[in-house]
Homo-oligomer: A and B are copies of this chain.
Amino acid sequence: MPSDTRERVLATARDLVHAASYADVGVDDVCRAAGVRKGSLYHFFPSKAELGLAVLERDWELMSGVLDDAFGREEPPLERLDRFVASFVALMGAMARRLGAVPGCPIGNLATELPAVGGPLGERVADVLGRYVTRVADTVRDAQARGDVARDLDPVGLALSVVAVVQGTAALARAHDDLTLLADLATTVRRLLPPG
Contacts and interface: CB of A to CB of B under 8 A. Distances in A.
Interface of A: 20-24, 104, 108-109, 111-113, 115-118, 122, 125-126, 129-130, 133, 157, 160-161, 163-169, 171-172, 174-177, 181, 184, 188, 191-192, 194
B108 A171 contact: yes
Contact of A172 (B160, B174, B175, B192): B160
A167 B161 contact: no
A111 to B, nearest CB: 5
Nearest to A175: B111
A23 B117 CA distance: 10
Number of copies: 2
13 contacts: A21-B23, A21-B112, A111-B172, A112-B171, A126-B175, A133-B172, A160-B172, A161-B169, A163-B172, A164-B171, A171-B171, A191-B192, A192-B192
Contacts of A172: 111, 129, 133, 160, 163-164, 167
Given A24-B116, A116-B20, A192-B192, A164 B175 contact: no
A188 B175 contact: no
Contacts of A188: 161, 164, 192
A187 to B, nearest CB: 9
Closest 9 CB pairs of A and B: A168-B168, A23-B23, A164-B168, A21-B116, A164-B169, A167-B168, A165-B165, A161-B188, A111-B175
A24 B117 contact: yes
B115 A112 contact: no
B168 A184 contact: no
The CB with the most chain B CB atoms within 10 A, among A118, A166, A171, is that of A171
Contacts of A166: 168
A107 to B, nearest CB: 10
